[in-house]
Chains A and B, each alone.
Chain A
Amino acid sequence: MAHLGLEHVAAGYVEGIDILGNITLEVKPGSITGVIGPNGAGKSTLLKTIFGFLHPRRGSISFDGRPINALAPFEIKRLGISYVPQGANIFPQLTVEENLQLGGWVIRRDGARVAERLESAYAAFPRLREKRRRRATTLSGGEAKMLSLAKELVTEPTLLLVDEPSAGLAPRIVEQVYAQLLTVRDQGVTILLVDQNINKAVQVSDYLYMIERGEVRRQGTRHDFADQLHAIVRDALLGA
């Protein structure tokens, strides 16, 4: 099972401005680790830096003991990390099946494995099997999110990076998405979850980090956080 470690990581998009200043965190194998924080704190940037869209300016990132600072996203994907961005990250004009196949792009040469992985995806998400030949534009909001998740599972990742799974979804669907994440975790996939929805993040995560202005301000188990939620938000609002 996967283990991810970040030590004093700093990163940013523009020269001279650090979005992440000093992030030290650990994602334990088999857990769901949540990262919460106000807008602009650097949550999305964190996932992009881990997945290789950005390279850390300082600090190190290691996956199962091996440094992954300088790798490109497709190399990171081959190591067994998948990234589920915000929103419905699917190709609308392609069919459900084609979307899943594209999810397996980095293992495409192994046709048998891809076919087997597609079968697993359909087993885990029967709704997608029903709609396998339909264009992705015909999917509902919840189904689209399901597809974007299933697509990232085709390569059999050991670590899944999930960016704000509930963003833009109706409350009923939000429940389903988090239930799916729990199922995925139960199958042995470690999850690093970034979320605006603090309530849900606390419900679902085993361990949480709160970041603000690019640094870790608080960390603890679900229980540590659950009692403190109001205080956490109040402090954030008061700019403390």
Chain B
Amino acid sequence: MDAEAVSATASGDLVLETRGLTKRFGGLVAVDGLSMAVPRGQIRGLIGPNGSGKTTTVNVLSGLYRPDGGEIHLCGQRTDRLRPHQITACGVARTFQISKLFGHMTVLENVLLPALAALDRGSRRPLAEIRERGRRLLDFVTLDRMRHAQARELSGGQSMLVQIARALMVQPLHVILMDEPFAGVHPTIRDIIMEAILRMNREESVTFLIVSHEMAELRRLCQRVTVMDDGRRIAEGTLEEVANDPVVLEAYLGT
């Protein structure tokens, strides 16, 4: 671990940490001994050439895949053996690259779902309060007027905004994992997404781990960036630092 992470660990405030994380699919090692640490309140970018294991990493972190080795610590808890809903209960939310909204439910119902699910875990928030928060979040992503629309009728960019509002509904919320939030999204909507991320980070100290290829956006958002290639971490630092790292450049150039 590098100096920054060491000092963060010393202060005990790492929101996300992996140690030697490994995931295999048959003979293919998608994630190969990945170790990284993200302190609270940071917006971290996760970049790397195609096939470097970024999406697999996010899927393992959110519990959709079981890791084959290593450890994951999220919000102070060991989560590598937990099921997705248990990881969410620790304060982890995520968005997907493709629209994974509940198609036959309305936009508002989609956004409310995490809070409704929390009721099943013992949360006691009244329905009225849940609805109000849902509407505020939709307003935050400028989609309140579409709250009664069927989710499957939304465009790609609108779906991403609803996914974000839905992720923000998770409480407690410590960290959001985002997989390609800008892919194929209209510039106006990109700005809304970036605004939302920056606000949540500033006002609620939400930590972000963002997988993306959109370097211009990452440059504006991320304080720090981790670079993966072939399932391993090959560099970490500010975007300027990694962009000047020959190891990183060679990785992007290919074999």
CA–CA, A239 and B184, complex, Å: 17
Contacting pair A14 B248 (CB below 8 A): no
Contacting pair A238 B252 (CB below 8 A): no
Q: In this complex, what residue of B is CB-closest to A13?
A: B184
User: Which residues of chain A are within 8 angstroms of B103 by Cβ–Cβ distance?
Assistant: none
Indicate whether A39 sits within 8 Å of B255 (C-beta atoms), given known contacts A234-B249, A237-B242: no
* Residues of A31-66 whose CB lies within 8 A of B: 38-40
- A220 at interface, CB cutoff 8 A: no
Contacting pair A238 B213 (CB below 8 A): no
Q: In this complex, what residue of B is CB-closest to A229?
A: B253
The distance from the CB of B23 to the nearest CB of chain A, in whole angstroms, is 17
Contacting pair A236 B215 (CB below 8 A): yes
Contacting pair A234 B244 (CB below 8 A): yes
Contacting pair B215 A40 (CB below 8 A): no
* Residues of B158-198 whose CB lies within 8 A of A: 183-184, 186
Contacting pair B253 A199 (CB below 8 A): yes
Q: B215 is contacted by which of A17, A198, A239 (Cβ under 8 Å)?
A: A239
Most buried by B among A38, A171, A198, A239: A239
CA–CA, A229 and B254, complex, Å: 11
- B203 at interface, CB cutoff 8 A: no
User: Which residues of chain B are within 8 angstroms of A39 by Cβ–Cβ distance?
Assistant: 50, 213
User: Which residues of chain B are within 8 angstroms of A234 by Cβ–Cβ distance?
Assistant: 243-244, 249
Indicate whether A40 sits within 8 Å of B255 (C-beta atoms), given known contacts A230-B249, A233-B249: no
Contacting pair B252 A198 (CB below 8 A): yes
Contacting pair A38 B248 (CB below 8 A): no
CA–CA, A239 and B222, complex, Å: 13
- B214 at interface, CB cutoff 8 A: yes
* Residues of A214-240 whose CB lies within 8 A of B: 229-230, 233-234, 236-239
- B240 at interface, CB cutoff 8 A: yes
Q: In this complex, what residue of B is CB-closest to A19?
A: B184
CA–CA, A196 and B52, complex, Å: 13
Contact with A along B219-253 (1 / 0, CB 8 A): 10000000000000000000110111010110011
- B218 at interface, CB cutoff 8 A: yes
- B10 at interface, CB cutoff 8 A: no
User: Which residues of chain A are within 8 angstroms of B155 by Cβ–Cβ distance?
Assistant: 14
- A174 at interface, CB cutoff 8 A: yes
User: Which residues of chain B are within 8 angstroms of A137 by Cβ–Cβ distance?
Assistant: none
Contacting pair B253 A239 (CB below 8 A): no
The distance from the CB of B51 to the nearest CB of chain A, in whole angstroms, is 7
Indicate whether A166 sits within 8 Å of B50 (C-beta atoms), given known contacts A14-B156, A17-B186, A237-B239: no
Indicate whether A198 sits within 8 Å of B254 (C-beta atoms), given known contacts A39-B50, A237-B215: yes
Contacting pair B215 A166 (CB below 8 A): no
User: Which residues of chain A are within 8 angstroms of B219 by Cβ–Cβ distance?
Assistant: 238-239
CA–CA, A200 and B243, complex, Å: 21
Q: B218 is contacted by which of A40, A196, A239 (Cβ under 8 Å)?
A: A239
- A-B interface, 6 closest residue pairs, ranked by CB to CB distance from nearest: A197-B254, A239-B216, A239-B215, A237-B243, A39-B213, A198-B253
Q: Which residues of B line the A interface, CB within 8 A?
A: 47, 49-51, 155-156, 183-184, 186, 213-219, 239-240, 242-244, 246, 248-249, 252-255
11 A–B pairs (Cβ distance < 8 Å), ordered by A: A14-B155, A39-B50, A40-B184, A40-B214, A167-B50, A198-B253, A233-B249, A234-B243, A237-B248, A239-B216, A239-B218
